[in-house]
């Protein structure tokens, strides 16, 4: 039987250093991690792993299972219609999990947020708030399976949503030795399904779903790390006059047709500048004009969202024109 890397789920092999799961031949029989995971874990090295058609692969694997429950993870700032479309493609019993809830600003009432999300996105299933960092609802992931009569559960979600961190925390909580899944801010750190036995149950970690388009490129490791929210998240509000724009990481420029209030819910490590009409940055890129209703959110996939108070026309210049969505404010 082929052995798998504990860290990423790849089948261990000693024939091709360029393929996933590689380990030198003299360590093949004893290694716990593939060479890639070992370098990530102990040397903080990063590498790009492209998994073709990974979204379809995950959905096919999950939907072909019987008597199994799915926990679908996404962090607070990255909820979007694209994410919900993927969630709705899961046809077996499931629930929606908002991970990294320690990043949600303290002034936001969480129960109201849950109700608003159910209303805006027509979510029928339970929504769970999760923080692996603060051990919020970690144990209940297992107890819910037992209460519902399931023996198996999938942990799925978009890249960097905290799936592997959750499973590592569960293993730590229940003293499961010999299991430490590799975690990294780089998408597709987990490359295949990883099966773990805990308290008579079987839990599967999975590769992450990938956006069709998102704010950063796969090899921009430092930017990817900076886009990942760390607690506490402190929203920044700009009182924007119609002669000014906000410039995000020199790749998205946004201006309003009227004086307006824009509040950014993004990682605090993102570089944001306020610029004026005499600054020509990005004006030669894709121009997008969007009609924004009162109190709406502009979603920038992979980055977060911007709450816009007043009805207006937004003019956006962006290196990527396909990373935006508009929704009713999740704060109503």
List domains and CATH numbers for the chain.
1-45 (no CATH), 49-205 (3.40.50.300), 236-328 (no CATH)
Average pLDDT score, the chain: 91
Strand runs labelled E in the chain: 68-75, 94-99, 127-129, 152-157, 194-198, 201-205, 236-240, 244-248, 252-256, 260-266, 272-276, 286-292, 296-300, 304-308, 312-318, 324-328
Residue 110 backbone class (left: φ over 0; alpha: ψ -120 to 50; beta: rest):
alpha
With the CA atoms of 185, 191, 192 and 196 taken in that order, what torsion angle do they form, in degrees rounded to the nearest 10?
-40
Mean pLDDT of the 50-63 span: 91
d(CA 277, CA 279): 5
**Contact assessment for residue 294 and residue 266, using Cβ atoms and an 8 Å cutoff:** no
Question: Rounded to the nearest 5 degrees, what angle is found at the Cα of 281, between the Cα atoms of 280 and 284?
Answer: 85
The DSSP output letter for 26 is G
d(CA 227, CA 204): 26
**Contact assessment for residue 6 and residue 196, using Cβ atoms and an 8 Å cutoff:** no
In this predicted model, what pLDDT tens digit does every residue of 269-321 receive, in sequence order? Answer: 999 999 999 999 999 999 999 999 999 999 999 999 999 999 999 999 999 99
d(CA 180, CA 205): 12
Residue 174, pLDDT above cutoff 60: yes
**Contact assessment for residue 199 and residue 143, using Cβ atoms and an 8 Å cutoff:** no
In this predicted model, what pLDDT tens digit does every residue of 225-282 receive, in sequence order? Answer: 899 888 889 999 999 998 999 999 999 999 999 999 999 999 999 999 999 999 999 9
Residue 178, pLDDT above cutoff 60: no
Mean pLDDT of the 73-98 span: 97
Q: Give me the pLDDT at residue 299, please.
A: 98
The pTM of this model reads: 0.89
d(CA 207, CA 194): 9
Which pLDDT band, with edges at 50, 70 and 90, does 186 fall under? low
254 forms beta bridges with: 246, 316
Q: Give me the pLDDT at residue 181, please.
A: 63
More confident residue, 117 or 142: 117
Other Cβ atoms within 10 Å of 315 Cβ, number: 16
d(CA 267, CA 216): 14
| Strand arrangement of the beta sheet that strand 312-318 belongs to | 272-276, 244-248, 252-256, 312-318, 286-292
Mean pLDDT of the 108-123 span: 96
Residue in 243, 241, 242, 240 with CA at minimum distance from that of residue 307: 240
Residue 83, pLDDT above cutoff 70: yes
Residue 151 backbone class (left: φ over 0; alpha: ψ -120 to 50; beta: rest):
alpha
Which pLDDT band, with edges at 50, 70 and 90, does 75 fall under? very high
Beta-sheet pairing, 94-99 with 68-75? parallel
Q: Give me the pLDDT at residue 182, please.
A: 61
From 86-90, 129-133, 160-164, the region with the lowest mean pLDDT: 160-164
């Amino acid at each position: 039987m082929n052995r798998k890397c504990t860290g990423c789920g790849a089948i261990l092999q000693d024939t091709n250093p360029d393929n996933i799961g590689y380990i030198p031949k003299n360590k093949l029989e004893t290694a716990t991690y593939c060479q890639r995971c070992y370098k990530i874990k102990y040397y903080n090295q990063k590498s790009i792993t492209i998994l073709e058609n990974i979204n379809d692969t995950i959905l096919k694997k999950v939907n072909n299972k019987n008597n199994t429950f799915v926990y679908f993870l996404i962090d607070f700032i990255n909820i979007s219609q694209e994410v919900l479309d993927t969630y709705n493609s899961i046809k077996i019993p499931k629930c929606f999990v908002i991970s990294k809830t320690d990043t949600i600003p303290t002034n936001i009432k969480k129960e109201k947020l849950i109700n608003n999300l159910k209303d805006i996105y027509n979510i029928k299933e339970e929504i769970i708030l999760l923080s692996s960092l603060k051990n919020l609802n970690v144990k209940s992931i297992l107890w819910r399976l037992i209460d519902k009569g399931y023996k198996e559960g999938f942990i799925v979600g978009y890249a960097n949503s905290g799936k592997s961190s959750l499973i590592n925390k569960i293993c730590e909580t229940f003293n499961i030795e010999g299991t430490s899944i590799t975690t990294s801010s780089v998408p597709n750190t987990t490359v295949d399904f990883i099966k773990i036995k805990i308290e008579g149950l079987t839990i599967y970690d999975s590769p992450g779903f990938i956006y069709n388009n998102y704010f950063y490129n796969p090899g921009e490791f430092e930017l990817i790390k900076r886009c990942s929210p760390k607690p506490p998240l402190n929203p920044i509000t700009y009182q924007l006059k119609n002669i000014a724009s906000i410039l995000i990481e020199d790749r998205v420029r946004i201006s309003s047709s009227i004086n307006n209030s824009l509040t950014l819910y993004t990682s605090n490590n993102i570089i944001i500048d306020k610029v004026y009409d005499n600054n020509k940055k990005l004006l030669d890129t894709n121009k997008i004009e969007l009609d924004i209703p009162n109190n709406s959110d502009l979603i920038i996939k992979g980055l977060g969202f911007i709450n816009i108070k007043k009805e207006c026309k937004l003019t956006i210049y962006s290196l990527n024109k396909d990373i935006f969505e508009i929704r009713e404010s999740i704060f109503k």
